[in-house]
């Protein structure tokens, strides 16, 4: 435990390889630092969102911070649940960086941005807007009680599950 900020020290090189644990199905979006895939746990067939990021030294601390934030704060109904992190080692001869796989709860109904774009004339019913805002505020309240500021709330970072649950994602910009 790092005594300065209460976050775990993470050794990215010690993370397991995702091969045989998760498989990628399709690209579902692009995040700040990488692509997001719909994936599946090989043994259980549970769906997951898998954010794949190339690891370079400049971004290593931010990546560790995001993992820590997900581990520590995702146990709330309005924050996408963190399932784990993995490292896919790439042969050094390729000249490519190793890849970090951040595995989280899959929110199959897309983002609030997607919801607005798919609505007639971009209009969402007032009841839905009120519900989504209430859920966002509950997630933010959880973070703020823990002295964490999200700093990147936007439609693309508010996801909806198939059960109409509202989940905050993309912790990359959190202090």
Asked whether the beta carbons of 12 and 100 are under 8 A apart, the reply is yes
| Catalytic pick among 98, 152, 162, 170 | 152
CA 160 to chain centre: 13
What does the alpha-carbon distance between residue 28 and residue 18 come to, in Å, rounded to a whole number?
19
End-to-end CA distance of the chain: 17
Asked whether the beta carbons of 149 and 143 are under 8 A apart, the reply is yes
51 assigned to a ligand binding site: yes
Instruction: List the one residue out of 139, 102, 97 whose CA is nearest residue 18.
Output: 102
- 105-137 as b/e, with b when 16 or more CB fall inside 10 Å? bbbeebbbeebeeeeeeeeeeeeeeeebeebbe
Q: Residue 17 catalytic?
A: no
Active-site amino acid positions: 152
**Residues marked as binding for ATP?**
51
């Amino acid at each position: 435990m790092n005594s300065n900020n209460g976050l775990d020290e993470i050794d990215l090189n010690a993370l397991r390889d995702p091969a045989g644990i998760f498989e990628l199905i399709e690209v579902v979006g692009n995040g700040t630092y990488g692509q997001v895939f719909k994936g599946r746990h090989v043994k259980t067939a549970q769906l997951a969102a898998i954010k794949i990021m190339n690891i370079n030294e400049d971004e290593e601390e931010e990546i560790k911070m995001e993992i820590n934030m997900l581990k520590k704060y995702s146990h709330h109904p309005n924050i996408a649940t963190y399932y784990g992190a993995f490292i896919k080692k790439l042969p050094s001869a390729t000249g490519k960086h190793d890849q970090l796989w951040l595995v989280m709860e899959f929110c199959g109904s897309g983002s609030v941005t997607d919801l607005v774009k798919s609505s007639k004339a971009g209009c969402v019913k007032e009841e839905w807007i009120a519900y989504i805002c209430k859920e966002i505020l509950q997630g933010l309240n959880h973070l703020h009680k823990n002295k964490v500021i999200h700093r990147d709330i936007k439609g693309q970072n508010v996801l909806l599950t198939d059960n109409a649950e509202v989940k905050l994602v993309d912790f990359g910009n959190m202090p």
